[in-house]
Homo-oligomer: A and B are copies of this chain.
Amino acid sequence: MKSYAIGIDLGGTTIKAGSVDAGGGIIKTVTMDSLAMSGPQAVIGQLLKTINDLMAQHAGETCTGVGIGAPGVVTGGSVVKNPPNFAAWERVDLGDAIRREISLKVEVENDANMAAVGESKFGAGKDHPNFLFVIWGTGVGGGIIIDRKIFYGSHGGAGEIGHLSIDMNGPRCNCGSRGCIESYIGQRYLSERTRNALAAASADSHTSGIIALVNGDVQKIDPKIIAQAAESGDPLAKAIFVEAGTFLGYALASILNILDIRVVVIGGGVSASPQFVYDAVTVATRERVLKPHKEGIRILRAELANKAGIIGAASLVM
């Protein structure tokens, strides 16, 4: 009998779910707006509906289980604590709530770890038993894979690499610390840096292709636009990205020294950026990391892109 696993990427904006085959291929998908602001019961209802929808499309086949990736800290493969952008949600045993309604194996995991597992099983980490997974998007997060398994630390939250400070006197970060790498290269900060650089350049009476791409509305600037401008040769856009990649490389050098890991897989929204960004990350990491690590440093582009959530989630119950 054919079998499949269900993987669900639970986000504050969207719930993306899919059935996945043993080779990591997505068979069917279901997507819906997330009722994150309506409280846990509404979200649990959505998850159950999603699971039933997918199972109905696989009548007569065996479902090996349901994997769910959730934001926030997840403990014991089941309990989701304080996910950002979810209302009235302090501590919810999501795994238990689902298991009570359907008699399947259910595993819940932090979304960054989930994506890391997906890259480990089916993506850029396939050939690397140990790697650091970086999500570079709105914020900067990560997951640590050791011996093909998630490294949890002592309380389940290991991998918060966005809050490694690269300058103790640097800009104030949302978390309260200073100089966190996220406060330099997170999507919002990167867009802000670009607006500031454009303002300074226009004072010098330089112009940039970025302005044309957003029809003069600098509030529309985001990493995608900057990448687009950089790829068509805009020097300011390119400089912004090279600087961001260099800062990330500096942070990675510190992290890799502590973990003694040599391979980094970068995913998240910004990971679609041009190759020269990866080159900048690689150069900066190699420049700053301890000598015995230098040669082995590999900075890889995540391969599963926006499918990482579904495939990673499903792979936990395969």
Complex-state Cα separation, A154 to B159, whole angstroms: 16
A169, A175, A288 pick with most chain B CB within 10 angstroms: A288
Using an 8 Å CB-CB cutoff, how does the interface string of A32-68 with B read, 1 for contact, 0 for none?
0000000000000000000000000000000000000
- Asked whether, in the complex, the Cβ of B165 is within 8 Å of the Cβ of A260, the reply is no
Q: Which residues of B contact A261 (CB under 8 A)?
A: 153-154
Q: Tell me whether A258 is interfacial, beta carbon within 8 Å.
A: yes
A247: contacting residue among B163, B164, B168, B291, CB under 8 A: B168
Q: Which residues of B contact A144 (CB under 8 A)?
A: 258
Please give the number of chain A residues whose Cβ is less than 8 angstroms from any Cβ of chain B in the complex: 47
Q: Which residues of B contact A290 (CB under 8 A)?
A: 160, 163, 175
Known contacts A166-B165, A168-B250; A257/B291 CB under 8 A: no
Interchain nearest-CB distance for A89 vs B (Å) = 15
Q: Tell me whether A167 is interfacial, beta carbon within 8 Å.
A: yes
Q: Which residues of B contact A291 (CB under 8 A)?
A: 175-176
- A130-162 CB contacts (< 8 Å) to partner B: 130, 144, 146, 151-161
Residues of chain A having any CB pair with chain B under 8 Å? 73, 82, 129-130, 144, 146, 151-161, 163-169, 175-178, 247, 250, 253-255, 257-262, 287-293, 296
14 A-B contacts (beta carbon < 8 Å): A130-B154, A146-B154, A157-B292, A158-B259, A158-B260, A160-B258, A160-B260, A160-B290, A164-B164, A164-B257, A167-B169, A175-B290, A176-B288, A254-B254
